[in-house]
């Protein structure tokens, strides 16, 4: 259960980082011609750090309320550890005017989680963790999640997950409801209600 909680915390935090980068890139997009030509690269750069590289490709439906991404790849110094394929986000661009990222649905055809990320070499930063906007995703739909052998213990574990997530911007506080089902012939079902507060180191 401890490993499962850590997986959820890392996946949720990565999701929030990517969403925050999307918001930041969209703001720049409205201001510069270069931004309009290089949106995917801007999102990748905003979501990346010295120890984390995020690559976003195949972006479509920027302001339509139906944002689509072909691939999202997250890497650390050990290489890629998370891949999201065919990401779909049905959201409300107008909600950004009130500093709120509101989405009816966030889905991905397939999530591949090979392992947990390599521990950071950098000391934890002091101060309060925050986001540029609050986040409210009413439905998360992940029909195919593949956990690598490093996490599954033996072979590949195939899961599916549904749920929702809500995050307050500052200080960062995340509440999520998830139902996770294993569908590779092995039994496994988890219903979880989680509260994630990085500033308090709580999950």
Lowest mean pLDDT segment, chosen from 47-51, 77-81, 124-128, 194-198: 124-128
- Backbone region of residue 153 per phi and psi (left: phi > 0; alpha: psi in -120 to 50; beta: other values): left
pTM of the model: 0.77
124 pLDDT exceeds 60?
no
Contacts of 24 (CB under 8 A, 6+ apart): 42, 46, 132
What distance in Å separates the CA atoms of residue 10 and residue 8, rounded to the nearest whole number? 6
Structure tokens at 105: 């649905």
What's the rounded mean pLDDT across residues 123-140?
72
Lowest mean pLDDT segment, chosen from 85-94, 107-116, 193-202: 193-202
Average pLDDT value for the chain:
78
95 pLDDT exceeds 60?
yes
The predicted-structure confidence for 22-63, as pLDDT tens digits, reads as follows 666 665 554 444 544 455 665 666 667 777 888 888 877 777
What ranges do the domains of the chain cover? 2-116+126-200
The predicted-structure confidence for 144-197, as pLDDT tens digits, reads as follows 999 998 888 778 889 999 999 998 877 778 898 989 998 888 877 888 888 877
CA-CA-CA-CA dihedral for 195, 118, 182, 140, to nearest 10: 50
Using omega within 30 degrees of 0 as the cis cutoff, is the peptide bond preceding 171 cis?
yes
Structure tokens at 101: 């990222």
């Amino acid at each position: 259960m401890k490993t499962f909680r850590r997986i959820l915390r890392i996946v949720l935090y990565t999701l929030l980082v990517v969403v925050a980068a999307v918001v930041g890139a969209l703001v720049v997009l409205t201001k510069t011609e270069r931004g309009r030509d290089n949106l995917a690269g801007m999102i990748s750069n905003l979501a990346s750090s010295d120890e984390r590289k995020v690559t976003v490709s195949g972006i479509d439906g920027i302001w339509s309320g139906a944002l689509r991404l072909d691939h999202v790849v997250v890497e650390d110094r050990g290489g890629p550890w998370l891949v999201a394929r065919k990401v779909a986000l049905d959201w409300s661009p107008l909600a950004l005017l009130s500093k709120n990222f509101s989405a009816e649905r966030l889905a991905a055809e397939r999530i591949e989680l090979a392992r947990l990320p390599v521990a950071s070499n950098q000391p934890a930063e002091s101060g309060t963790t925050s986001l540029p906007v609050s986040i409210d995703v009413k439905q998360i739909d992940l029909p195919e999640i593949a956990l690598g052998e490093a996490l599954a213990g033996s072979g590949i574990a195939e899961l599916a997950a549904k749920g929702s997530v809500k995050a307050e911007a500052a200080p960062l506080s995340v509440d999520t409801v998830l139902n996770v089902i294993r569908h590779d012939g092995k039994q496994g079902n988890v219903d979880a209600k989680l509260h994630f507060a990085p500033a308090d180191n709580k999950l």
